[in-house]
Amino acid sequence: MPAPVQSEILERYDIENVHYNLLYAFDAYINILLCFLTGLLINDKLLGLRRSILLFVGLILVGNLLLTVSAYYGNFTMALTSRILMGIGVECQNVTFYALIALWFTHKEHGFASSASAMVMRMGMVASGYFTPLL
């Protein structure tokens, strides 16, 4: 969760710092194991790459919508649920993205493509941290 908006989140949900940290911890704990399982889902033809991408983008969308509703009503439990859904979607989407890189790029290009995608993701995180307080 972006630190610049911490005071607004604490006030909106009427929570303390310990509860605020749960918003990050809930999605982080789940993703320790889930990233590994996502690789199995993609490789095993259980979902396949295309369906996996649609599923995980859908989870991100639903999680974001749920977080918006939770902020409107000030419902912290709903906010935790939304963070779980977004965390699952984002981390699993990263796994599928690297699987796509492996399919699209040759062995010689794979390292550069992976590092370029990681750089773009980090640039998005930095931009989010910079622009969020301005909004």
Question: Whole domain around residue 106: which residue ranges?
Answer: 3-134
Report how many domains make up the chain. Answer: 1
pLDDT the model gives residue 1:
57
Please state, in angstroms and rounded to a whole number, the distance separating the CA atoms of residues 2 and 95.
23
- Whether this model's pTM surpasses 0.85: no
pLDDT tens, position by position, for the chain (135 residues)? 566 778 888 888 988 888 888 888 877 877 777 877 888 888 767 888 888 999 999 999 999 999 999 999 999 999 999 999 988 898 888 888 888 888 888 888 888 888 888 898 889 878 877 787 776
Instruction: Of 32, 16, 28, 23, give the one whose Cα is nearest residue 1.
Output: 23
